[in-house]
Amino acid sequence: MSIIYFLISISLIVALLFFFAFIKAVKSGQYEDDYTPSVRMLFDDTIQNKTTKK
């Protein structure tokens, strides 16, 4: 049963990884503009459709 020490440590490490990923995302400013990227993503498609049609 001492496997439990190992498993809990692993699960904590995984959780910590996500925690630091979140902090890093906030730091890099990903949450500052939560609207423009969602629109920008759709643009590329429309332009490509246009060029392929031509």
- Residues 28-47 touching other proteins, rule: CB under 8 A, are 31-36, 39-40, 42-43, 46-47
Residues 6+ apart with CB under 8 A from 25: 31
| 24 touching other proteins, by CB under 8 A | no
In the bound state with other proteins, the residue whose beta carbon lies nearer, of 32 and 52, is 32
Contact 46, 52 (CB under 8 A): no
CA angle 46, 48, 50 (to 5 degrees): 70
Site residues, other proteins (CB under 8 A): 1, 4-5, 8, 12, 15, 19, 22-23, 26-27, 31-36, 39-40, 42-43, 46-47, 50
